[in-house]
Amino acid sequence: MADIQELLTLMEKLRDPETGCPWDREQTFATILPFTIEETYEVADAIERGDMAELCTELGDLLFQIVFYSQMAKEQGNFNFSDVVCSIVEKMVRRHPHVFGDAKISTAHEQSLAWEKHKVTERTTKRGNVDSLLSDIPRALPSLSRATKMHRRAAQIGFDWSRASDVLHKLDEEVVELKHEVANNGGTERLTDEIGDLLFVTTILARHLSIDPDSALRHANAKFERRFRRMEELARKRGKDLASMDLAGQDALWDEAKAEERS
């Protein structure tokens, strides 16, 4: 607690109207938001790279964002950091009655189901009878994350395929529809619609396979970058310019980089 108080005091000094930092003083919730999103992705990057020293630093940066918001809210008379902490503690206790109460839950799957039920109850209590299960899903979420949340909510009332194999059949169907539009020179609007359907069904398949689609795509991005950089390196070692090579030559280097990883 002494450490967190030191951080809270530091934030107060940065926001001091007279002696604080000019940049920190003029920030608002809206101007800080892009930094918060960036810091969240930097935490994810450190985790995926397995860099614990960097993760410690990035978690500190993310914590600073929370302290920043709390200080601004305190100045406006809305809430403070202590309120934020109390809120999350109360929520976690409420959503874990099998740990802090008498409820019986023995598996992670049972807890996931119970967690969603708690959230439904909380939403109803907080907002009354909302017009849709999807009402409180933030529109600012990354598209893959929002898609996953929407069909997870829909699945709560049984609007879902029962098996991953059923989703694969739907995925095949979407590919056929996309091929049809491509073959018939479908316009941008139709192609966008079909690509969107394909991506959406892919996120449903990922959920059925217990895979986070955003993490899967980040993994694919990292793999592509790694192999492409190796292609560039191989080309330089052989005195070639990757950009000047034909596709067959580039593909050969890609296959070589790919084979190296698998060996």
Same domain, 54 and 16: yes
Q: Are residues 207 and 222 in the same domain?
A: no
d(CA 118, CA 97): 10
Q: Which amino acid is it at 173?
A: E
pLDDT digits (tens, 9 = 90+) for 86-133: 999 999 998 898 899 888 888 887 887 777 777 767 666 666 666 788
Q: Are residues 90 and 15 in the same domain?
A: yes
Lowest-pLDDT range, 55-64, 95-104, 188-197, 242-251?
95-104
Domain boundary among 94, 120, 143: 94
Residue 219 lies in a domain: yes
Residues 176 and 199 in one domain: yes
Quick check: 63 and 87 in contact, CB under 8 A? no
Final residue of a structural domain among 67, 94, 121: 94
Q: Looking at 38, 69, 94, which one is the last position of a domain?
A: 94
213-237: per-residue pLDDT in tens? 988 998 899 999 999 999 999 999 9
H-helix or E-strand spanning residue 198: helix 188-208
**pLDDT grade for 263, boundaries at 50, 70 and 90:** confident
Summarize pLDDT for 153-196 with one digit per residue, the tens. 899 889 999 999 999 999 999 999 999 999 999 899 999 999 99
pLDDT at 255 over 90: yes
**Which amino acid type is present at position 119?**
K
Query: CA-CA-CA-CA torsion for 64, 65, 68, 72, nearest 10 degrees?
Result: -160
Task: Judge whether 40 lies within some domain.
Answer: yes
Q: Which residues of 194-214 are buried (b: 16+ CB within 10 A; e: fewer)?
A: beebbebbbbbbbbbeeeebb
Asked if pLDDT for residue 1 goes beyond 80, the answer is no
Say if 192 falls within a structural domain.
yes
Answer whether residue 74 is part of any domain. Answer: yes
Residue 238: count other Cβ atoms within 10 Å of its Cβ. Answer: 8
Residue 62 lies in a domain: yes
| Total tally of structural domains belonging to the chain | 3
**236: amino acid identity, one letter:** R
- Same domain, residue pair 207 and 219: no
The mean pLDDT value of the chain amounts to 91
The residue written with tokens 């450190």 in the block is 46
Which H or E run includes 177?
helix 164-183
- The string over 113-145, giving b where at least 16 C-beta atoms fall within 10 Å of a residue's C-beta and e elsewhere, is ebeeeeeeeeeeeeeeeeeebeeebeeeeeebe
How far apart CA 56 and CA 59 sit, in angstroms, is: 5
- Enclosing domain of residue 173: 131-211
Counting residues of the chain whose pLDDT is more than 70, the rounded percentage is 95
Instruction: Say if 141 falls within a structural domain.
Output: yes
Are 256 and 227 within 8 A, CB to CB? Answer: no
Length of the chain (residues):
263
**What pTM was computed for the model?**
0.67
How confident is residue 241, by pLDDT bands cut at 50, 70 and 90? very high
Radius of gyration for the alpha carbons in the chain, expressed in angstroms and rounded: 24
Question: How confident is the model over 58-66, as a mean pLDDT?
Answer: 97
Residue 220 counted as domain residue: yes
Grouping H, G, I as helix, E, B as strand and the rest as coil, residue 142 is: coil
Cα 202 to Cα 159: distance, rounded to the nearest angstrom: 16
Residues 50, 80 contacting (CB under 8 angstroms): no
184, 204: one domain: yes
Whether 10 is covered by a domain: the verdict is yes
